[in-house]
Structure 1
Amino acid sequence: MKIERIEIFVTELPVRVKRIFSSGSYDTGPPQQQLGKPVLVKVYAGGVVGLGQVRAISPGHFVADTTHSMVAAIQEIYGPALIGQDPFDIETITAAFDARLAGNPAARAALDIALYDCMGKAAQLPVHKLIGGCCQPRIPLEWSVSMADDVGVMVAEARRAVEEFGMRVLCIKAADRRGWRQDVKNFETVRRAVGDDVVIGVDPNTGWSLADSLCAIDALRELDLGYIEQPVARRDLEGMAEIRRAARGIPVMADEGLFTLQDAYALARARACDAYCIKLYKIGGLTPARKIAAVAEACEIQLNCGGLAVQSQLEAAAAAHFYAATPQRRMMGAGEFVFGLNTVGPDPLVPATDFVVRDGHVDVPTGPGLGIVVDEAALERHTLRREIVRA
């Protein structure tokens, strides 16, 4: 079974999604603009076609990849290196990628996910059966609430998540330009609106100083703070460790500080966090996710499955398979990929699906590979750009 060719698609999104967080903006872009749109890859090997899709979320984000850099990396470097390889030789492929072009995790994630989809289809098994089995067939979900100048907008989003979709875990974006006290006010207002039965975490996206973090934790403790995600700069391991000590049992999660296996090791050595936030587009796919998970298990650090997967059933499914293959006791919070489950807009490439939210949860797909069927006519209609890599 050898890889014969790779196709690359930049695809349109029917609903523009714009969000605000401390370190920048999140914008899928206007119609027909490629920047901000997802990249889908098809890997052809021995009569099987593996699919993967990732939306690069820069500009305006801490992960540097863009739509155009993803296409270039796949078309010019990673794609040619894959031709003639066996999709099952994942470590050989990973080593070749490392040698050819460092970084570029979003491009590598799209290909890595497509390879697992290819392997699953060839073996007639769902991806989670290839990476540990089905520990959690029904996955709890988390809704990320965007910052807004008007806290009423935040409350409306939080209430929609809880009342319409049954969410029991929320993450409120923080580090408002008006200061940490405004973040506390926002949190308190949302808490009053959704009640005490909902877990609410806070994510400043590195936007707090150490002093801000210590003050905010003291204030939020009385409001039943569920967890705190990456409050300070990604390289400030000492600051993260001090915040963790001050939190006194409130879990501290590393997100921006975790890109690589080496980052995971450094965070563990510094005792700087209670959980790793695994985002496949940030770390390079399922292959590095499994290695980081092994470090976490050895160091008694829990995992969180992040990444919004906006309007992408394929990206959401990849995250769901990773979550399902992880024992419940090793997970913290819930899966963040809810925006790929037709909540903020439908996936234009998958018009027929049962991979949707039910009472704050989703069932992991059980079909071969990712278990997601893309409508080829819809893909043709929504393609903004197409490239092919051959021998």
Structure 2
Amino acid sequence: MKIQHIEIYQAAIPLKKAFKTALRTVTVAETIVVKVTCDNGIVGWGEAPPTHVITGDTLASIHYALKEIFKPALIGMPILDRELLFEKTHTILVGNTSAKAAIDMALYDCISQQANMSLTQFLGGYEDSIETDYTVSVNSPEEMAVDAEGYVSDGFSVLKVKVGKDTIEKDMERIRAIQDRVGSAITIRLDANQGWNPKEAVRAIQQMEDLGLNIELIEQPVKAYDLKGLKYVTDNTQIPIMADESVFSARDAREVLEMGAADMINIKLMKAGGIHEACKIAKLADIYGVTCMVGSMIESKIGITAAAHFAASQPNINYFDFDAPLMLAGDLIKGGITYKESMITFGSGKGLGIEGINEEYLL
């Protein structure tokens, strides 16, 4: 069983509403799609959205890496020599984690189909359904409160609230407005996307604690490189702190874990370069007794299906942030994961369960 063809497409799907964070605003989900075909007819799918403010990857860089580096290097390789295949994928090019993730997930799709298992079963088979949160983009307090109320009406009981765009005082207004609107029974997660400095983060989080706000966790309050600042926030607050942009690789995770710089880790395939490295991060965190979230960029259901299969396979992954396909005005694929309000199920298909692509979104 060898890799016979690698095809590369560009796709774009409009969002229903602009997605805003402290780092960027997105109105159209652009992505590079990879189709890997094996000589026995098995087809695997992967994707890589450009998120240059986090990964440094652009549409052009992803396309070049896939077409000029990975495609000629991997065609003809035996797909069941897994460690050799993934070693080559991860060492043939420095960085370029999004392109690596697209190839990686397509290869895992092929391998698990050959094993006659879903990808979740192939990786461990821990959960058969998971619950996602829904993200509230950073806007005015009133608009965010209205959006939050709408998501709760749609069946979501966990909201991920984006903050960190301007002043921390404004962020406090946003949080209060949302909690006043949706009530204390709804769980709120905050994501500052590196938007605070350590001292103001501690001051604000302690205020949240004193006010009794129902905050479950806070993602990446400080700059990705500032591990000492991240540890300062973690050590001086009670609400759990989650490292996101600070952790791309297992080496990054080891440094965060050894320092005790965060209480949790957010794993994303586009940061890790795919499932192979993501499994290492999850296993390492488990050794330290640390729970993880698996999240995503603004991706189509290809990438989210791969991430959800991985997340459901590991016992210490307890938080799931897979709302991106629900933000899109259309579905790039046929098959994959299924949503029922906040619940995600996997179906009985093998691999990722992707049946094909909707060509209307290809460019």
For the aligned pair, the TM-score class normalised by the smaller chain equals over 0.9
Q: Which amino acid in structure 2 is aligned with residue 270 of structure 1? A: M
Counterpart in 1 of 2:195?
207
- What is the DSSP-based 3-state SS (H/G/I as helix, E as strand, rest coil) of the residue aligned with 1:63? coil
Q: Report sequence identity in percent.
A: 31
Counterpart in 1 of 2:259?
270
Counterpart in 2 of 1:144?
135
User: How far, CA to CA, are the matches of 1:25 and 1:366 in structure 2?
Assistant: 36
Following TM superposition, by how much is the alpha carbon of 1:37 offset from its aligned partner in structure 2, in angstroms? 1.3
Following TM superposition, by how much is the alpha carbon of 1:17 offset from its aligned partner in structure 2, in angstroms? 5.3
Counterpart in 1 of 2:355?
373
Q: TM-score of the superposition, structure 2-length normalised?
A: 0.94
Counterpart in 2 of 1:11?
11
User: How far, CA to CA, are the matches of 1:227 and 1:77 in structure 2?
Assistant: 39
Counterpart in 1 of 2:144?
154
Q: Which has the higher strand share?
A: 2
The match for 1:182 among 163, 170, 181 is 170
1:81 aligns with 2:73: yes
Structure 1 spans left out of the alignment, 5+ residues? 29-35, 385-391
The match for 2:117 among 119, 122, 125 is 125
Q: Give the structure, 1 or 2, with the largest relative contact order (CA under 8 Å, sep 6 or more).
A: 1
User: How far, CA to CA, are the matches of 2:23 and 2:65 in structure 1?
Assistant: 25
Counterpart in 2 of 1:39?
32
Following TM superposition, by how much is the alpha carbon of 1:2 offset from its aligned partner in structure 2, in angstroms? 0.8
Counterpart in 1 of 2:219?
229
Cα 1:287/1:260, change in 2 over 3 Å: same
Cα 1:17/1:5, change in 2 over 3 Å: farther
Say if 1:308 and 1:337, in contact at 8 Å, map to a contact too.
no
Following TM superposition, by how much is the alpha carbon of 1:260 offset from its aligned partner in structure 2, in angstroms? 1.0
Q: TM-score of the superposition, structure 1-length normalised?
A: 0.88
Say if 1:141 and 1:168, in contact at 8 Å, map to a contact too.
no
Q: Which amino acid in structure 1 is aligned with residue 303 of structure 2? A: E
Counterpart in 2 of 1:33?
none
User: How far, CA to CA, are the matches of 2:65 and 2:336 in structure 1?
Assistant: 33
User: How far, CA to CA, are the matches of 1:41 and 1:73 in structure 2?
Assistant: 12
Correspondences of 1:18-57 after superposition (within 5 Å): 18-28=18-28, 37-46=30-39, 47-57=41-51
Q: Which amino acid in structure 1 is aligned with residue 44 of structure 2? A: G
Following TM superposition, by how much is the alpha carbon of 1:354 offset from its aligned partner in structure 2, in angstroms? 8.1
1:100 aligns with 2:92: yes
The match for 1:220 among 178, 202, 208 is 208
Counterpart in 2 of 1:382?
361
**How big is the alpha-carbon RMSD for the aligned residues of Structure 1 and Structure 2?**
1.7
Q: Which amino acid in structure 2 is aligned with residue 203 of structure 1? A: D
Runs of 4+ in 1 over 6 A off after TM superposition: none
User: How far, CA to CA, are the matches of 2:50 and 2:116 in structure 1?
Assistant: 30
Structure 2 spans left out of the alignment, 5+ residues? none
1:261 aligns with 2:245: no
1:167 aligns with 2:160: no
Following TM superposition, by how much is the alpha carbon of 1:24 offset from its aligned partner in structure 2, in angstroms? 2.9
Say if 1:54 and 1:309, in contact at 8 Å, map to a contact too.
no
1:314 aligns with 2:324: no
User: How far, CA to CA, are the matches of 2:181 and 2:339 in structure 1?
Assistant: 22
- What is the DSSP-based 3-state SS (H/G/I as helix, E as strand, rest coil) of the residue aligned with 2:10? strand
1:347 aligns with 2:331: yes
User: How far, CA to CA, are the matches of 2:180 and 2:67 in structure 1?
Assistant: 50
